[in-house]
C-alpha cells in the first residue's frame, strides 16, 4: 500500500514540477521586465534541480544526484550573470 502511495506521489510531483518548469520558461522568455526574467531563471534552475532529485528517487540510483548538485552550484552564478547583463549590457567589464 505504501509503495502505491509513494509511486503516485512521485508521479504527481514530476507532473507538477514539469508544469512549473514550463511556466518558468515562459516567464524567462516573455517576462515584461528584466527582474521577471531573472526570477524566471531562478525558478527554472530550482525546479530542474528538484526534478532531477525526483528522478533519482524514482530510479533508485545516485546518477541524477550529481547532475542536480552541479545545477545547484551553477544556477546562482547564471542568475547573477543574467542580472548583470540585463542591468549593464555587459558581463565582464
What is the predicted pLDDT for the residue at 75?
A: 87
**56 CB contacts (<8 Å, ≥6 apart)?**
62, 63, 64, 65, 68
Residue 83 lies in a domain: yes
Q: What is the CATH number of the domain that holds 33?
A: 1.10.287
What's the pTM value of the predicted model, to 2 decimals?
0.82
Q: Which residue has the cell 525558478?
A: 43
What H or E segment, with its residue span, contains residue 51? helix 34-59
Res 49 pLDDT > 90? yes
What is the predicted pLDDT for the residue at 61?
A: 86
CB atoms within 10 A of CB 15: 10
Range of the domain at 32: 1-88
Residue 93 lies in a domain: no
What is the predicted pLDDT for the residue at 4?
A: 92
Compare 60 and 88 and report the one with higher pLDDT: 60
The model's confidence at residue 11, banded by pLDDT at 50, 70 and 90, is very high
Q: What are phi and psi of 56, to 5 degrees?
A: -65, -45
Amino acid at each position: 500500500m505504501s509503495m502505491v502511495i509513494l509511486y503516485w506521489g512521485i508521479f504527481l510531483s514530476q507532473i507538477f514540477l514539469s508544469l512549473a518548469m514550463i511556466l518558468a520558461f515562459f516567464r524567462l522568455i516573455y517576462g515584461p521586465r528584466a527582474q521577471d526574467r531573472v526570477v524566471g531563471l531562478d525558478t527554472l534552475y530550482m525546479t530542474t534541480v528538484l526534478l532531477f532529485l525526483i528522478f533519482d528517487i524514482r530510479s533508485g540510483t545516485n546518477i541524477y544526484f550529481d547532475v542536480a548538485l552541479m545545477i545547484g552550484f551553477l544556477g546562482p552564478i547564471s542568475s547573477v550573470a543574467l542580472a548583470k547583463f540585463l542591468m549593464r549590457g555587459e558581463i565582464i567589464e
